[in-house]
Amino acid sequence: MRESPYPLEKSLGMRCYASDTPGIGGRLRERAEDFAVDEVFSSPGTEGPYLVCRLTKKNWEMQRAAREIARQLGISHRRVSWTGTKDTHALTTQLIAIYGVSEEDLERVTLRDIGIAPAGRSQHPLTLGGHAGNRFTITIRDTCSPDPERELAEVAETCRRGIPNYFGIQRFGVVRPVTHLVGLHILRGDIEGAVACYIGRACPGEPPAVREARMEFSSSRDPAAALRSFPVTLSYERAMLHHLVSHPGDYMGALGSLPPRLLSLFVSAFQSFLFNCTLSSRMERHGDDFSSPHPGDRLLFSDGKEDVVTPPMLAAARAMASRGRCLVAIMVPGARPVQPAGEDDRTMANLLDRYNLTPADFARASGVVGARYDGALRPASLSAIVSWTVAENNVALSFSLGPGSYATTVCREFMKADPSSMA
């Protein structure tokens, strides 16, 4: 195990690596084709009001792609659904479902670096996490390991055994990691603070003019002045500002001007932050044995059943875990009260106390944004069979992951590079 040296990772709860190598360094996403993602999905049906499409996009953020597709079809973006948001700076293929359109309507969609083709029909929209997983082919450029084959083999073996199943930095925003902070404001019932954070919190990685515009709004809270300085590319911020100009003081309405899926991500991002922090504490407590069951741990079985490890069942739990029948999991907090069972639960309870949060806050937030935050178990580790090729100073990794796990979490174990190199 190795400690991360990067303040940004530590601030998001990602304090540890499972492998102990120095890292091959390098950069991700020098070009979109360097980060290829293919969604693994079941074949759709042939009937229903939802047209299921195969969407291929390059360097498109999913929310923006959905809005532009909807605009060219002349429909609300709320009629477009998908199972996974995928990476923005990447070449991705996935399914989306569009309500109430025909195959012929797709001919009106002419967007650069977007391809869309009919794949079937469905009676229902797609839901987040509804796909089987994703296949990744990722090129890391300009690596610096003196013995890359040895290091790659060592980390690949660690990935096979299990690495921390962190929520990746893109969950919070790489250039501007504020999503979870907006979520904390929502959980505390501070809607004005949530809007001010999303619009006005400046981050070092942004262009100077954008940082200045954000800081000015944070200081003045003048939406009309901010509209004159915010660039048109910041469409979500401008939508909120337009609402505040038309409806002074209506911060709830300004928050509601965001797409529903984006709005639902804020609170879940803070849940992700709490999970990362608890997982890091587990790794610091158990070291290389973090993925093995310990008394008081929660177990998630392959059939969806849950259990808690007691001392008499410890040997059996470890045997089942070694055979892949169950995984140690951490309870992501939510509206459902949880009776603490072990050290991970107590760590999580202490974090909730630190931020003065209770299950009632998650229940109230559900009403604010229209999404449920009941809480759920998430595996503490992920395993991946990683293959690789080396060409001069470039390394290509190939592997598959289930829904909800991050490819950058795998790349991070190999690279151990500054997060800015993984944006």
Give the amino acid at 351. Answer: L
Confirm whether 34 is a catalytic residue.
no
CA distance 115 to 57: 6
CA distance 160 to 190: 43
3-class state of residue 368 by DSSP: helix
Six-digit token pair at 105?
């309507």
CA distance 55 to 240: 29
182 within 8 A of 192, measured Cβ to Cβ = no
- Residue 181: in which H helix or E strand, if any? helix 179-187
CA distance 420 to 169: 10
Closest CA to 308 of 351, 280, 338: 338
Beta-sheet pairing, 35-40 with 91-99:
parallel
CA distance 14 to 423: 16
Among residues 87, 297, 345, 361, the one annotated as catalytic is 87
Catalytic residues: 87
